[in-house]
Amino acid sequence: MAKTETPQPVRGMQSLLGADADRMAAVVAAFDRVRRIYGFKRVEVPVLESTAVFARSLGESTDVVSKEMYSFDDKGGDSVTMRPEFTAGIARAYLTLGWQQYAPLKIATHGAAFRYERPQKGRFRQFHQLDAEIIGAAEPQADVEAIAFAAQLLSELGVADRSTLRLNTLGDPETRTKWRDALHAHFTKHQRELSEDSRSRLDRNPLRILDSKAHQDWPIADSAPGIDEFLTVEAGGFFEAVTKGLDTAGIAWVREPRLVRGLDYYRHTAFEFVTEELGAQSQLLGGGRYDGLVEALGGPHTPAIGWAAGIERLAMMLDAPVAERSDAVFIPLGEQGERAAGKLLADIRRAGIAADMAYRGNMKKRLQRANASGARFAIILGDDEVASGQAQLKDLGTGEQRAVAFDSLTEALRP
């Protein structure tokens, strides 16, 4: 009989166990703590959306839409896409489910997202994101609030001093139009010197040339006109209010004039937290104000700001968290011991005490496994213990062992 070939994992997908999974759980737990502190409501959105949601929000010509999305026709013939990010789906839900009545709405979520791209350090085809949004708030204080949430999350994770907040403004629509025209003129003069990718972006999205990864583009980008030359009074005042708010909150930042968002619905604040510890993949968290997104999806003008962070990338910055462990491990000997251990195990778990049972091997091997698990106690139950109604409680740290009545075990195990 031919041997069945074992299925292999799909490229760019991960299965995690132990410390790697624990690091990701630690990121999510910190995010949830800070979310509650800042008053962001938990929200859930579907993994599958109509392809039009992302095509309209991300732009038909972007690499994400044209090359990276997992899109397919479902059994009803409708084109659907596995979410490549959260914001578009949240904006769709805001429009279609009547969430406007709650504006300004502070919401946060986390989960899997999907992009078909080359897997590399900290980047996978199924990856996981944190996401926070404030929808329906036009005030600069909303920008400060969103950034402060992000900064406190990094502080909770212990990586704040290993990251830098970069900040820029994209101005209002009038500012952006004038700056875009000036950039187009500048890059057109240097068209022959630009990389192939940047030449392809010249007409449709010259702002993206500013954050080109091609080294040959950098001197040309450095000499490009800056946005400050074109800021309207209103846009300049908005950015000043954001920077003063960050200063008041004690959040350090640096100006990064080449930090941009290419799509037209982005306005005013753009920001990212970066680190030097992850090589080329330096961004830990990024976001910005997207006042035009809901309009792009067919809704009314709706100011909004948000950010996203890769859970895998943040997890790579963490030391291995303390492993989860049981408070006690039962070691039953014989049928009577197993029956008694089953009842006592259920009782102490209902009391909120973490416990497990070692079923296999002789006494020595079971004690070794209990020690290796990090448990504080081993509870030994044989025929004699069942007959006396007293278990042998062994302190695995000191080696001390004593008899404890069955009905006193729960209290004896409490820290």
What is the reported pTM? 0.87
What's residue 359's pLDDT? 80
User: Which position has the higher pLDDT, 330 or 324?
Assistant: 330
86-113 burial: b if 16+ Cβ within 10 Å, else e? bbbbbbbbbbeeebeeeeebbbbbbeeb
Q: What average pLDDT does the structure give for the chain?
A: 90
What's residue 188's pLDDT? 92
**111-125, 283-297, 334-348: least confidently modelled range:** 111-125
* Contact in structure between 238 and 141 (CB atoms under 8 Å): no
Q: How far apart are CA 340 and CA 343, in angstroms?
A: 5
Per the structure block, which two tokens stand in for 340?
């008694």
What's residue 3's pLDDT? 75
pLDDT digits (tens, 9 = 90+) for 38-59: 999 999 999 999 998 988 777 6
What's residue 212's pLDDT? 84
pLDDT digits (tens, 9 = 90+) for 365-376: 888 888 888 899
Assign 103 a pLDDT band (cuts: 50, 70, 90): very high
pLDDT digits (tens, 9 = 90+) for 259-310: 988 777 889 999 999 998 877 668 899 999 999 899 988 999 999 999 999 9
Find where tokens 């509870």 sit: 379
* Contact in structure between 257 and 231 (CB atoms under 8 Å): no
What's residue 151's pLDDT? 97
What's residue 66's pLDDT? 61
What's residue 281's pLDDT? 65
- Three-state secondary structure call for residue 172: coil
Helix (H) or strand (E) holding 22: helix 19-37
The verdict on whether omega for the bond into residue 104 sits within 30 degrees of 0, i.e. cis, is: yes
User: Which position has the higher pLDDT, 220 or 320?
Assistant: 220
What's residue 153's pLDDT? 98
Q: How far apart are CA 407 and CA 387, in angstroms?
A: 14
Q: How far apart are CA 70 and CA 89, in angstroms?
A: 15
Enumerate the domain spans of the chain. 19-172+232-316, 328-413
What's residue 106's pLDDT? 98
Q: CA torsion angle for 367, 370, 372, 374 (degrees, to 10)?
A: -140
pLDDT digits (tens, 9 = 90+) for 378-402: 999 999 999 999 999 999 989 999 9
The topology under which CATH files domain 328-413 is Rossmann fold (3.40.50)
pLDDT digits (tens, 9 = 90+) for 170-198: 999 999 899 999 999 999 998 888 998 88
The CATH code that applies to domain 19-172+232-316 is: 3.30.930.10
Q: Work out the percent of the chain whose per-residue pLDDT is above 70.
A: 96
What's residue 62's pLDDT? 59
What's residue 64's pLDDT? 65
Assign 412 a pLDDT band (cuts: 50, 70, 90): very high
Q: Looking at the predicted structure, is the pLDDT value of residue 70 above 80?
A: yes
pLDDT digits (tens, 9 = 90+) for 54-64: 887 776 555 66
